[in-house]
A and B are shown apart, each in its own frame.
Chain A
Amino acid sequence: MAASIWQWANPVKFIRLSDRLIPPLSILTAICLCTGLIWGFFLTPDDARQGASVKILFVHVPSALMAINAWLMMLFTSLIWIIRRHHVSAFAAKAAAPIGVTMTVIALVTGAIWGKPIWGTYWVWDPRLTSFLILFLFYLGYLALWAAIEDDDTAADLTSILCLVGSVFALLSRYAVLFWSQGLHQPATFSADKETNISNVFWYPAVLCMAGFVLLFVTLVLVGCQTEIRARRGRALLMREGRLT
């Protein structure tokens, strides 16, 4: 079983498998995102307290979820790189970073826009918001580090260490509201407990939107990972055939 997992670390096998997965994943992504967003925007009622602004939930919550989970996925693949030195795992982390930073920006901006009418301010130095902003800065640092170092292996080593450190803030931004009782941001919007979870009229489209964002992330990581593998293969060929350069 373990051997069957690691065989996908072979770049050729990875590209062959991802080539088969990307088309159905793209279709599923489009279906989930379109259905979830249209359902959330057009077919949900206003909230008793927040009015129509509750519709922001369908873009804010999935993007915040993916901003944190993208970093945790990068942590997982970085650990695989550190322990087993599989290039595909390092490239998966590299491919996830631009998606993660985009999701972080969406979550920060939509959160600020939502905060103004509900909290009366765009920003407060609340534990959750602050740790989320620090996570955004870690994303920028991670991307800058990859861009600054030419050698793939050295870049993967250093970015993996940065990823380990940044994981503290990824976890903090998720659990900050539980550690500190202060701050404006409410606890998790979704809960397994039916008593505290949001109403089903919001829950169903939100689940579709979250599924759409997760699928979008997986699809784009696969495409990005293929790109990195091909770029590395190109560089390796050029180096081997010095005459071509």
Chain B
Amino acid sequence: MMPDLGKYTFEVLACYGITLVSIFVLTGITVLRARRAKQVLSDIETRVKEVRHAD
């Protein structure tokens, strides 16, 4: 149940909203970059193995 924030409703909700959105965006970007880096490295390692095998 929503607490009564009186005349500070906008200020409190804005601060919590900005914080939560920032944390979610930061976490999302970090996780996506990590997944992409893992995938890219895996692709490169596969190609390296293929080239070495062909030699």
Interface residues of A (CB under 8 A from B): 33, 37, 41-42, 46, 51-53, 55-56, 59-60, 63, 98-99, 102, 105-106, 109-110, 113-114, 116-117, 216, 220, 223-224, 226-227, 230-231, 233-234, 237-238, 241, 243-244
The CA of A37 and the CA of B47, in the complex, are separated in Å by 47
A59 B19 Cβ-Cβ under 8 A: yes
The CA of A110 and the CA of B9, in the complex, are separated in Å by 14
Task: Report whether over half of chain B's contact residues are helix, strand or loop; otherwise say mixed.
Answer: helix
- Pairs of residues from A and B, 5 with the lowest C-beta to C-beta distance, nearest first: A52-B5, A59-B19, A53-B8, A110-B15, A230-B37
| B residues contacting the other copy or chain, number (CB 8 A) | 33
Q: Is B38 an interface residue (CB 8 A)?
A: yes
Q: List 12 A-B contacts (CB under 8 A).
A: A46-B6, A52-B4, A52-B5, A52-B9, A53-B8, A53-B11, A63-B19, A110-B19, A117-B8, A220-B30, A234-B44, A237-B44
B15 A102 Cβ-Cβ under 8 A: no
B15 A56 Cβ-Cβ under 8 A: yes
Which chain A residues border B7 with CB–CB below 8 Å? Answer: 51, 117
**Centre residue among B1, B4, B14, B26 by max chain A CB count within 10 A:** B26
A106 B27 Cβ-Cβ under 8 A: no
A51 B47 Cβ-Cβ under 8 A: no
Known contacts A41-B12, A109-B18; can you find 7 more A-B pairs with CB under 8 A?
A: A55-B12, A56-B11, A56-B12, A98-B30, A109-B15, A110-B18, A231-B41
Query: How many whole Å from A33's CB to the nearest CB in chain B?
Result: 8
A223 B31 Cβ-Cβ under 8 A: yes
Which chain B residues border A56 with CB–CB below 8 Å? Answer: 11-12, 15
The CA of A5 and the CA of B8, in the complex, are separated in Å by 49
The CA of A117 and the CA of B44, in the complex, are separated in Å by 55
Q: A234-B40, A244-B47 are in contact. Are A52 and B3 (CB under 8 A)?
A: yes
The residue on B at minimum CB distance from A224 is: B30
A106 B33 Cβ-Cβ under 8 A: no
B26 A99 Cβ-Cβ under 8 A: yes
Which chain A residues border B18 with CB–CB below 8 Å? Answer: 106, 109-110, 113
The CA of A53 and the CA of B14, in the complex, are separated in Å by 11
Q: A51-B6, A113-B15, A117-B8 are in contact. Are A233 and B31 (CB under 8 A)?
A: no
